Structure 1
Amino acid sequence: VLGQAGAGVVLVSRAQAARPEVAGLGAGRRVLVVEDLLAGETPEVELPVVGPDEVAYVIFTSGSTGRPKGVTVSHRGAVNTLRSVNDRFDVGPDDRVLALSELSFDLSVYDLFGVLAAGGTVVFPDQGETKNPAHWLELVREHRVTVWNSVPQLAGLLADEAGGTSLQSLRVVLMSGDWIPTQLPERLRALAPEATVMSLGGATEGSIWSIWHEIERVDPEWASIPYGTAMPGQRMYVLNGRGEHCPVGVAGEIHIGGAGVALGYWRDEERTAERFFEHPGLGRLY
């Protein structure tokens, strides 16, 4: 990943710097110890002027092949998603999110930039406690976390840990990245009666999320939660192999269009051409 990314600098902690495997990262790169940087003076630098279509971040995802692909997302794409969520739920300075997702997983992009952009607070779990539901519950209650953003499995573990006690501070529950058990929304609503429970989906290549569905009553006959409708500024299509719209009930492939479509795969023109293309009537699609 470092080679494909073309990374010139690697940041490590002092404890990590002592590990033998870290020495191998220094070939052609600068390895900087964070504690040493914090101890020194920080020079003032002029920030560059960045346009909305320039690269905001690259997140490597294995996808279905096992070979990492660096998904390259623009500032415009990321901001469109963040604003959509913040506008819908009126996220502001009084909101707090518990940041459970690793920075290599794009749910973390909302935790950091979405909530901070609204003037809110990011609550981080203690190192070594990131997989401890009891610690999550403690932080939710201590800091009165209002926004929960995770894969469904972690939301389920929080509900298990809470038992019959309340999670009344939560007002928005965002679940994405995997199948949502049909019983989970009601369990969460019983613990947080005022919370809006949302299913979100899409792909890293669509700037975090492209589609959402507010989960209200779940029909006992449902096998799964509906996938939803496209988020503002984005489009979702089901197309056949000729790029034509599939009628209702006819299987096809999901395509993402609109502002969220990524710039492509970092330094990988071949795979970018395989997955991203210009549709004659619908614009650029993934």
Structure 2
Amino acid sequence: MTTQTKNRLSPAERDLVLGFNPAPSPRPDRPVHESICRQALRTPDAVALRSGDRVLTYRELLDSAASVAGRLVADGAGPGSIVALCAERGADMVVAVLGILLSGAAYLPVDPKHPVQRVCSMIESAGAVLMLEDGTGAPLPDKHPVRVRPLADRGEPAAAPVDWRRYTAGPEVFDGCGCVIFTSGSTGEPKGVELTHAALANRLASMLADFDVDPDDVLLQKTPYTFDVSIWELLLAFMAGGSLVVAPPDAHRDPEALIELITGHGVTMVHFVPSMLEFFATEPDVGSCSSLRVILSGGEAASPRLLNELAAALPETALYNMYGPAEATIDVTAWPCRRPEPGDRVPIGRPLSNVAAYVVDGEDELVPVGVAGELLLGGACLARGYAGRPDLTAERFVSFRAGDREERVYRTGDLARWSADGHLDYLGRIDTQVKVRGQRVELGEIEVALRSHPAVRTAVVVVRDDRSLVGYVVPAGEFGADGESVLRAHLAERLPDYMVPARLVELAELPTGAHGKLDRAALPEPPRRRR
């Protein structure tokens, strides 16, 4: 006799939860950058981009990108290859992204502020053949195999630009990788998510329709381009014939500067992680941002209080709570926030176009409405997998029987549940992954970096209620008065700044429970800093 799980569904219950997913809709048949070329042919003299004092029309933008693409093709880039890009946010960075795409290659964004060791690890695991750089990052080691080229043409022999006016991408481009986004890895190494052109095209086409983006829209590019949200910030306006305003480097952390950009350029659509949205919403002049018709918030759990405050300050602005891991190409669900948003939790909403969501128990059986389980994602949104990591790809991207058919899905590791009206509630993680400043962080990666120092016997990292990272360290011997500063320098060589704990606490031993396992709840509160 077959043993049934307690969550075994009746046929009617199964049909109900499967029916919460949208019916399939037509999928785009060309990559995003080809759609941008077609838009540029329609409106060549319209303003496409503003960055500081620089203003580029669509013709100027595509001419510049085509020149970059020509140099890359002459240097061996093309379909199936990956080109790293290390540059500060600005017009040249945007041009370079389009140039890489026009060459047929995928782009790998690299933060100039990241430690060289991390940059080398990303380039090597992704298999990048070239790197474009603007000189703002630390130089790679002399013997590093990747070929480094200047982002701007500095007197190299002229290369024939790619003809963007007649550009047509073949299937080897559309079905291939368009971007590699690195996220934190629990093994101590970052992992590169390979996003396909097909998935990117589906996501951005859905955004065009869902948010009625048109030539009158002005979008703000402010998210660090190593974060997947930056992809639609960079490209969506160009698909619609609108214009893009590029925030200066580090302006994404300055709410006053963002308000000035929004009001000065009439920005209509913007994205915030909730932690930054809180600073923005409480600025005295936030009400002056009346040009904003859409605010998207995602990357962290949003509170009803925060969204209610923002709705009061900008009553005519539509607010959406978004959810999605990079492995499912930016966002997969959206919730149009109510005014006011009731309850103590903001839903993550309903699946977007050509996205399938399933909530399952520990035996991968669908669970009923109201029951918590792991969220699996399928459909046109899925990434190809992890660059150079077939083992991890096979572990996270699996086959799943949904109803009467098998499909490929991504195991998110997120807990969720369906509501009776078909929206999803996010309930947290089933592992130790967290979000810090909107960036996904595996605590295990930080712990591995701490333990790699010879003065550390063991270490554990947690997130406190104020969203700050705290590292607890058991030294291997005498730690010394400058132990914390030494460890900070050690971490800074290996991790981006948002992954370096705000506090490092020395302990004689890590607390354990009755079975000898780490008792995270027993970790002491870090001592207050002296003022």
Taking structure 1 as the reference length, what is the TM-score of the superposition?
0.90
> Offset at 1:241?
2.5
1:191 maps to which residue?
313
- Post-superposition CA distance 1:10-66 (Å, at most 9, x none): 2222454xxxx5141652122212244478645224667332322111111115554
Among 169, 172, 178, the alignment partner of 1:49 is: 169
Among 407, 411, 435, the alignment partner of 1:283 is: 407
User: Is the Cα–Cα contact under 8 Å of residues 171 and 192 in structure 1 kept in the other structure?
Assistant: no
- For residues 130 and 251 of structure 1, the distance between their equivalents in structure 2, rounded to whole angstroms, comes to 35
1:265 maps to which residue?
386
SS for the counterpart of 1:165 is helix
Higher-Rg member (1/2): 2
Among 224, 231, 237, the alignment partner of 2:345 is: 224
Among 31, 45, 55, the alignment partner of 2:148 is: 31
SS for the counterpart of 1:7 is coil
Paired AA for residue 272 in structure 2 = S
| Counterparts in 2 of 1:39 and 1:120: CA distance versus 1, 3 Å | farther
Residues 119-268 of structure 1 mapped to structure 2, 5 A cutoff: 119-163=241-285, 165-220=287-342, 222-268=343-389
SS for the counterpart of 1:93 is coil
SS for the counterpart of 1:105 is coil
- Alignment length, in residue pairs? 281
Gaps in structure 1 of 5+ consecutive residues: none
> Offset at 1:253?
0.6
Please provide the CA RMSD for this pair: 2.1
- For residues 48 and 87 of structure 1, the distance between their equivalents in structure 2, rounded to whole angstroms, comes to 23
Paired AA for residue 144 in structure 2 = A
User: Is the Cα–Cα contact under 8 Å of residues 180 and 225 in structure 1 kept in the other structure?
Assistant: yes
SS for the counterpart of 2:303 is coil
- Post-superposition CA distance 1:199-221 (Å, at most 9, x none): 0102100110111110013455x
> Offset at 1:243?
2.0
User: Is the Cα–Cα contact under 8 Å of residues 220 and 246 in structure 2 kept in the other structure?
Assistant: yes
User: Is the Cα–Cα contact under 8 Å of residues 97 and 149 in structure 1 kept in the other structure?
Assistant: no
Taking structure 2 as the reference length, what is the TM-score of the superposition?
0.50
Paired AA for residue 189 in structure 2 = R
Gaps in structure 2 of 5+ consecutive residues: 1-121, 411-531
- For residues 170 and 118 of structure 1, the distance between their equivalents in structure 2, rounded to whole angstroms, comes to 17
- Post-superposition CA distance 1:198-247 (Å, at most 9, x none): 00102100110111110013455x22101211111101110123221011
SS for the counterpart of 2:365 is coil
User: Is the Cα–Cα contact under 8 Å of residues 8 and 29 in structure 1 kept in the other structure?
Assistant: yes
User: Is the Cα–Cα contact under 8 Å of residues 212 and 227 in structure 1 kept in the other structure?
Assistant: yes
Aligned-pair identity (%): 33
- For residues 225 and 25 of structure 1, the distance between their equivalents in structure 2, rounded to whole angstroms, comes to 50
User: Is the Cα–Cα contact under 8 Å of residues 303 and 344 in structure 2 kept in the other structure?
Assistant: no
| Counterparts in 2 of 1:154 and 1:39: CA distance versus 1, 3 Å | farther
Paired AA for residue 272 in structure 1 = T
Paired AA for residue 115 in structure 1 = A
